[in-house]
Each structure stands twice: as C-alpha cells, then as structure tokens.
Chain A
Amino acid sequence: MKSMLMGLAAFALASAATAVQAQERQVNMAVSIPAADHGWTGGVVYHAERAKKTLEARYPGLKITVKTSPDGATQANALEDLTAQGIDALVTLPHNSDELTDPIRQVKEKGVFVTVVDRALSDPTIQDLYVAGNNPELGRVAGEYIKKELGGKGDIVVIRGLPIVIDEERQKGFDEGIKGSDIKVLDRQFGNWSRDDAFKVMQDYLAKYKKIDAVWCQDDDMAVGVLEAIQQADRTDIKFVVGGAGMKEMIKRVADGDSMIPVDVLYPPAMIATAMELTAGNFYDQVPVRGSYILDATLVTKENAQEFYFPDSPF
C-alpha cells in the first residue's frame, strides 16, 4: 500500500506539469458501481463521488458520471445506458464477474477505455486497466497474524461473508496463512457481511464452544456484531478479533490500542478513486497506465494506524 501511495503522489506531480491544452480535452468518464448495500460499498460510493469532484476540478474538460445499481442485471442495463450517452472511459466495479463480463465486453467493443475494479472479469483481455485489493492476501495476512499471536496453537472460529468468489479467495488465503500450525478452525458459518447476522452467529458459537481463542470475521462490519456478542456473554477466553477492510471505527480502535482489535487488514474502498485517477491519467497525462494494479493487504497496527484513519469517510 505504501508503494502504491507513493506512486499516486508521483502521478499527481506529473499531472500538474502537463500542458494546459491537453487538460481542456473533452473526456466523458462513466463510473458504474454497486449501490451502497453495506458499509464497504457505501465507502466505494463515497470515494467515487469525492474523486469525481477533485478530478473534475483538476481537469476542466473531464466529465464524470457516477451511476450506482442495486444488482447485476440493473448494472448491465446501466452500462448500456451510459454507453448510449457516448463515453470515452468506463470505470466499473462489477456486481458479479460472470454476469457482467459480456455487457462490459460490448462497451469495450465501442472503443471505450475500460477500467475494472476489485472483481476481475471472466475474460481478463477486456480490461485495459485492473485495480484491485488483494483478497487472498487479506486472508493470508489475517491467518499469519493469528498464527503468530496464538503461538501456532489454539481454537478459532470463522465468520464468512456471502458465498461468492471474493469470500472463497479470502478463505483460501486464510487457510494458507495458518497452514503448518496447530490452529484448529472449530466452525465456519456465513454472516452475510451484516452486523446483525454476525451477532447471531457469534452468539451461537459462544453457546456451542466453551473455549475460543480468536475470531476471524473477514470484514469490519461483521466485527462490530461479533464484539457485541462477546461483550454480552462476558467471555474472557477470546483473546482478539481480526476483521478486514479498514472501517474507520475499527482503525480507530487499533490506534487506541484496544486489546480485542489489535490489528486490521486493509481492503480500502478508496480503490475506486485510485482507479478513476489512473484512468483520467491515461487521457490527460502521457503516462502508460494499462495493466494490473494490486493494492497490498496492509496489516494495520497501532503503530501505523493513524496513516489509514479518515474520520470523514462513511466507512
């Protein structure tokens, strides 16, 4: 993540130096993202809107349209509508890779510059630019941290998200992270990336297992419910909870040295802004941007937490 941020800084410098007439070039950029149906996607919408403001200010010729869609089918329709208005670039975070590969392919065939964020398409040749967090790495970092903290031995429980690719990747990464240790995963259940559901699942875990050393719940939203369930049960056997994504409340707890939330693993919704910035750069700054940009799944600890704390973000 650090290296990525430095890259961006360099980028901003480069853009400042670019010739003025290039900045007045008319470019229409469409941003198609999921509607804010949970905390993380809420963050995506927030960062997309914010990046729209800063980028449009920086490049007077740039016009950005942000469109949110509640599900895959609606997003496919939205893509058609956006294309019909005539666009030069598309930045999209697809609901679902398989479903949206063909609709995005059709956009691409119109000669549009396509940037895909977070969820890779089934056919990677479509995208000009791919910006994503590192899902397997998010799982692996969390797993390795737990392995280290528990001294390679202990009983843990896992709360998964929804049964989709991202969840599977994180799961696999996590299993790799704890491989070779005596850490036993007592149970894995879906918490649907929802605080309420995670609360219920955690209550049930607590009833089922008399001793749990740590919890991995793969998302900070769910960590909120988990912490509440543990607090209610007055259980002291649980040493800590590891979430993920970098929700501001959780980062704050890490920074404050909360022993239940010692770390967090980054998977920032701000990646949409990164993608928009890079895409704009393709048009206004003569810098090659095609390729894949994978952001690190940085482990946030008490020492570096302040760097990742954005109190104004909704997430």
Chain B
Amino acid sequence: MSNTTVVQTRRRSISDIDLRAVAPFVALAVLFGFGAMVNPNFLGLDNLTNVVTRSAFIAIIAVGATFVISAGGLDLSVGSMSAFVAGTMILFLNSGAVSGDTGMIATAMLLALATGALCGLANGLITTLGRIEPFIVTLGTMGIFRALTIYLAEGGSIAIKSQELRAAYRPIYFSDVLGVPIPVIMILVVAALGAFILYRTRFGRHVTAVGSNEEVARYSGISVNRVRTLTYVIQGVCVAIAVLIYVPRLGAATATTGLLWELQAITAVVIGGTALRGGVGRIWGTICGALILELVGNIMVLSDLVSEYLIGAVQGSIIIIAMLIQRSLGRR
C-alpha cells in the first residue's frame, strides 16, 4: 500500500518537471559531450575554467536582460553601455582623485555602478514616460553611448595609465577563491540574486505580471511604468557589474568593447527559455544560454572540423538546433 503511494508520487514529480525549463541544460550537456569528442583538451580544467570565466560578461548582462525581457521590454544598448561605463570608470581611475590604490578602485567601482544605473534609468524613463518602443529608444541610446565612448577615447582606446593600479585591479578578473575564479563567483552571485528578486519578491512577481499582460497588471494596482523602469535600472547595474570584471582583464576600453554584446545577451536569454514576448523569465536558463554561446565558440577553435571562414555558420546552426531541442521538449 505504502509502496504504491511512493511510486505514484515519484512518477508524478517526474512528469511535473517543466521540460522547457530543463531544455537549455540538456542542450548544454549535449554540447559538453560533443566538445569532449572533438578534442580531449576540451574537458581540461584550465579550458573549462577559461570558458566559464569569460562567459561572465555576457552571463551577467543577460541576467539584467532577463528582467527587461520578462517585463516585455528590450534593451539594445547594453553593448555600448558597457563600453561607456568602462570608459568613464577608467578615466576616473586615471584622474587620481582618490589616494591609495584600494580606495581608488573601490570608489571607481561605485562610480561605475552608479553610471550603469543612471544609463538604465535613462532608457527606462524615455521608454515609459515618452511612450516610445523600447527597440527604438535603446537603438538610439546604443548610438549615443557608443559615440560618447569614442569621443572620450578621442578615437583611440582608454587604458589604465598607472601600472601599479592596473596590477592592483588585475586580480579581480584573474585570481580565484578556492580554485573558483572571481568572475565565476560573480556569475553565481548575480544569478542567485536575480533569481531571488524575480521569483521570491513582490517586485519580481510584478515584473512577470507586467510582461504577461500590462492591462491586467494595471487593473491589479501595479504601477506598470515604475516596474518597467526599474527593470532597465537593473539592466544598467548588471552591465556595470560586468564592466567591473571586464576592465581588469585588458585594462582598457576601446571602440570595439562590448560590440554586439546586446545580441549575445538577448540570444542567451532566449536560449535559456525566456519568452521574447515577456511574462516568463528564467534566470538560470539564461546563465546556461550564455555558457552555450561561449562553449560553441570554444569548441569551434579547439576542433579542426571546419575552415575558419565557416565558424559563424556553425555557431548559427548550433544556436538554432538548441532552440529546436527546446521547442520539441516544450511541446512534449
């Protein structure tokens, strides 16, 4: 008697798993298998650490994008915003406004977070108060942030001038805690925080509601504009966090910093199972999507399968196949 009950509950819990939420992880696992087949070095600790570490920028930005997209918005400006935030941060580091390397770096970090939040706030307010499609607004700010960066760099690059400062800041990207690189820890912290906000707080619930149906949200007493604007602010802060670990890597912002990151972030979000039309947000899926994107590039370089001219085509195909897997699992 008790046996059958156990069996029944177990069966039920398996069929209850939302396959669509699991799909990105399945795709990731398949990709791991494929990578291991292509090149045994792929599974080396160094290689995997490298790949996960450098996926940090896109992963962290994509967590913000998950909020924006879940609420029914879109932000195309994140790539340029990264360059702009990185540029202003380095200029501040070069200004010598604060004495002492640690204090200087900490102040610059706070400044970067504030700059990111303000950039996001601008996107949010123009979208909601101006009642303009987010696609257009963020396309506009994308150009603005990019141009401002190039202007600040006077056409070249903005690099940290002081070698001591550079050396002091460098470990933020390159060192680790108990073998886990700091950027990876950042991914986990940002994603956990994002998941907490999206799934466990009132604000997160409101984000989902606004993305599902703006009118229902309004009739339920939710301030739609406030919720939307805050998602853009979150996006801005995520961009700034990504910049905090981007700057120590190469110590410079250039005209190519963050180029096309917006598309990678959106792709990661969609691969992760978040609906572009809003209403469904999957933070861990997004992280998975960012890893998939980075792994595909890595596997391509490690393998000798295709000519370097065709890598883009293979990457595109793998992304489409990942989406097809997800669709077919979702349909059951």
Contact = CB atoms under 8 A, between A and B. Distances in A.
- Do A and B touch each other in the complex, judged by CB within 8 A? yes
Interface of A: 35-39, 41-43, 45-46, 160, 163, 187-190, 192-196, 199-201, 203-208, 221, 224-225, 228, 232-233, 249, 313-315
A42 B46 contact: no
Interface stretch (B208-216, B221-229, B246-254, B280-288): B246-254
Contact of A190 (B154, B257, B259, B308): B308
B297 A200 contact: yes
Contacts of A225: 250
Nearest to B39: A208
Given A194-B259, A195-B256, A201-B301, A314 B155 contact: yes
A34 B9 CA distance: 66
B182 to A, nearest CB: 13
Interface string B228-262: 00000000000000000000011010111101000
Nearest to B309: A163
B298 A224 contact: no
Contact of B155 (A36, A232, A233): A36
Given A39-B157, A200-B54, A200-B297, A207 B256 contact: no
Given A160-B308, A192-B256, 7 more contacts: A35-B150, A195-B252, A205-B301, A207-B41, A207-B44, A208-B39, A314-B157
Contacts of A313: 156
B302 A207 contact: yes
A192 B256 CA distance: 9
A110 B56 CA distance: 54
Contacts of A207: 41-42, 44, 46-47, 50, 302
Contacts of B255: 36-39, 41-42
A35 B44 CA distance: 41
Interface residues of B, number: 31
Contacts of B159: 249
A25 to B, nearest CB: 31
A294 to B, nearest CB: 25
A42 B301 contact: no
Contacts of A41: 155, 255
B135 interface: no
8 contacts: A37-B256, A38-B255, A42-B153, A42-B155, A43-B156, A163-B309, A207-B302, A314-B154
A42 B157 contact: yes
Contacts of A232: 174
A228 B249 contact: yes
A65 B255 CA distance: 23
A195 B155 contact: no
A39 B301 CA distance: 25
B256 A38 contact: yes
Nearest to B173: A232
Nearest to A232: B174
Given A189-B308, A232-B174, A249-B159, A221 B154 contact: no
A208 B155 contact: no
Interface-centre pick from B150, B159, B252, B254 (highest chain A CB count, 10 A): B254
Contacts of B309: 163
Contact of A46 (B41, B42, B54, B154): B154
Given A45-B155, A160-B308, A39 B54 contact: no
Contacts of A36: 150, 153, 155-156, 255
A105 to B, nearest CB: 29
Interface in B277-310: 297-298, 301-302, 308-309
Contacts of A189: 301, 308, 311
B157 A199 contact: no
A35 B156 CA distance: 11
